[in-house]
Amino acid sequence: MWDRTALSRTGSFRADSIGQNALALISNLCFTIFVLIVLIFTLIAATYEPEDPLFHPSTRITTFLTSNSNATFKSDSTVVKTGEDFMAVNQTALGGFINVTDVNLGVPLRVDINADEVTPFECESQIGTPIDCTDPDVFHLMMTSAIEQFKDIHFYRFGKPVRGYNDSTCHMAWRFRPKEGKIAAFYKDYRSFVIDRSDNCTLSVAGIGEYHSGGNARKRKKNLRPGFEKPQGNQEQGAVLPVVGEVVNDTLPAVESEGSFRRGKYLFYTGGGDRCKSMDQFLWSFTCALGEAQYLNRTLVMDMSICLSSVYTSSGQDEEGKDFRYYFDFEHLKESASVLDQTQFWADWNKWHKKDGLPLLLVDDFKITPMKLAEVQDTLILRKFGSVEPDNYWYRVCEGDAESVIQRPWHMIWKSRRLMEIVSAIATKLNWDFDSVHVVRGEKARNLELWPNLAADTSPEALISTLKDKVDEGRSLYIATDESDPTFFDPLKDKFSTHFLDEYKDLWDENSEWYSETVKLNNGVPVEFDGYMRASVDTEVFLRGKRQIETFNDLTRDCKDGVNTCTSAS
């Protein structure tokens, strides 16, 4: 007879053994698959060359280089965003603006109670005398007149009036923002006021001059109490806001003495393939160098001479010798960071290196991270980049492990205040009360395969039909466009007061302030108002319109990057 107990135990043992073997087999198989995956991944990582992130950008780069809303103008105009574009407008942080009710008007007439008739006090002695611009009553009168006349701006600060160009004029400056401004910045204007005194000595403002007509009030008076003001409010989240209209001081910094030069620590990038590339690549690489210099607590030695890419030049060729200060605010940069012009640096280096033998560390591999250089004590770290692209792009230094360590200081890079002054002048001429439309045509309108509807959708007839529901008839309409012939838009004049960039050429012609200042920067040689400058100004004026209408968001059914490329973001 079978031993049932033994049989039961044997069957149980065999079942347990089979289960254990199956588990072991599955475990070994999973481990083998894991090893194969790791091996394949290792091989891919060892042989893969990443594509240039500027042409296939990461989310982080995309967030920086494009706008969160209505981004088509930015991408089409190739105008890169800078630090001030990231400052959120916070009216509380900006401080309160000045209303008419804030101005404590004095009594303009003083009455002699002992006279037989009520007449202005000492009026006869004042007839024909110059206007006293320091009189508080004159000051209050000018403030009130300005607030009442310029209804589309908020006044944040008034400077005290000064004498104008004759006995009946006073000049006064003020700081302001447009009421519907979306840009975190202040603007400064200074105007000439014609003050009229009547036969009974009553004062009135007979007229206010054009934008920046009050030149005597332009320069800030030092060591004097400011005029009537509320809190200046020029800081937001710890960052100073740009003020357009102040005198620009972007002279190049210099080392004060041999001792200070020898005690300094410097970082210099040289060579590489970034030169003559687009402006967005220039900034992406430059801010990497600036970020590494900050991380290492070193002065960045920078080349003030930019090569402007052919996409921005009238010649169609890359053009060397463009000053950094034409496009960016160097005054703000040198006040925010430790930077030195390379011409000045090498002159000092050659002078004092021979005497003291200052140590230099040459780094010719971008894979040597900033973290590995943190303890270096040499006077100069010189990063040298080779000729093989894209491994010779400066921004490669800030990739990989360094990306989480090096912080690009975008807040230090602002647009040129000379260019922004042109923007402010155009907006002021339009009384800060205009709508704007961006009309993309050019090569895209001629490429019917990628943009089959663009030409028709941006024709004058189509624009009139589309804009009638978006812009009130008779409104001032600023048209930012790549259409070379502005008369193309003449049919719109029946419905709107149209304006274009070239209407304001006097702001950069040979008689302009921009021209004279850039000539000084360029050692007496005239500077061309080039394609990048034009695109910058056109973009910024567009962005100051009360209502902004985009080509690919509002005017056409086509996608901004061609057929079948539309996304929810575009």
pLDDT tens, 5-46? 443 444 444 445 555 565 666 666 666 666 666 555 555 444
List the alpha helices (DSSP H) in 110-197.
123-126, 136-149
pLDDT, position 322: 97
pLDDT, position 78: 62
pLDDT, position 48: 39
Q: Sign (positive/negative) of CA torsion 398, 285, 86, 444?
A: negative
Name the pairing type of β-strands 339-341 and 299-302. parallel
Lowest-confidence range among 42-51, 156-165, 176-185? 42-51
CA-nearest of 327, 171, 174, 154 to 246 is 174
Mean predicted confidence (pLDDT) in 537-566: 92
pLDDT, position 114: 33
pLDDT for 49 beyond 60:
no
Res. 236 pLDDT band, cuts 50 70 90: very low
pLDDT in tens, 174-233: 999 999 888 888 999 999 999 998 888 889 999 999 999 999 998 764 433 344 444 444
pLDDT for 569 beyond 60:
no
Instruction: Say how many CA atoms lie within 13 Å of 513 toward its Cβ.
Output: 15
Phi first, then psi: give them for residue 237, nearest 5 degrees.
55, 40
pLDDT in tens, 118-133: 344 566 667 778 999 9
pLDDT for 490 beyond 90:
yes
Query: In Å, how far are 209, 251, 481, 546 from 476, measured between CA atoms?
Result: 21, 39, 16, 10
Q: Which letter, b or e, does each residue of 506-540 get, where b requires 16 or more Cβ atoms within 10 Å of its Cβ?
A: ebbeeebebbebbeebeeeeebebbbbbbbbbbbb
pLDDT, position 201: 82
Tokens of 491: 């049919």
DSSP letters for 299-345: EEEE--EEEEPGGG-SSSS-EEEEEHHHHB-HHHHHHHS-EEEHHHH
pLDDT, position 454: 96
pLDDT for 66 beyond 50:
no
Q: Tell me the β-bridge partners of 235.
A: 240
Contact (Cβ atoms closer than 8 angstroms) between residue 198 and residue 141: no
pLDDT, position 108: 40
Mean predicted confidence (pLDDT) in 151-161: 94
Phi first, then psi: give them for residue 525, nearest 5 degrees.
-95, 130
pLDDT for 239 beyond 50:
yes
Helix, strand counts (H, E) of the chain = 17, 19
End-to-end CA distance of the chain, in Å?
85
pTM given for the model? 0.82
Contact (Cβ atoms closer than 8 angstroms) between residue 482 and residue 75: no
How much is the mean pLDDT over the chain? Answer: 83
Secondary structure letter of residue 555 according to DSSP: I
pLDDT in tens, 506-523: 999 999 999 999 999 999
pLDDT, position 233: 42
pLDDT, position 450: 94
Range among 66-80, 98-112, 433-447 with highest mean pLDDT value: 433-447
How many angstroms from the chain centroid is the CA of residue 412?
A: 10
pLDDT, position 241: 85
Of the chain, the percentage scoring pLDDT greater than 70 comes to 77
pLDDT in tens, 281-319: 999 999 999 999 999 999 999 999 999 999 999 999 999
Mean predicted confidence (pLDDT) in 406-435: 96
pLDDT, position 29: 66
Q: Sign (positive/negative) of CA torsion 143, 149, 151, 152?
A: negative
pLDDT, position 107: 39
pLDDT, position 2: 39
Mean predicted confidence (pLDDT) in 257-264: 89
pLDDT for 235 beyond 50:
no
pLDDT, position 62: 40
Res. 170 pLDDT band, cuts 50 70 90: very high
pLDDT, position 199: 81
pLDDT for 264 beyond 50:
yes
pLDDT, position 31: 61
CA distance 286 to 336: 15
pLDDT, position 343: 95
Mean predicted confidence (pLDDT) in 429-446: 94
pLDDT, position 355: 75
pLDDT for 116 beyond 80:
no
Name the pairing type of β-strands 203-208 and 153-158. unpaired
CA distance 160 to 145: 14
pLDDT, position 230: 42
CA distance 196 to 218: 23
pLDDT for 54 beyond 80:
no
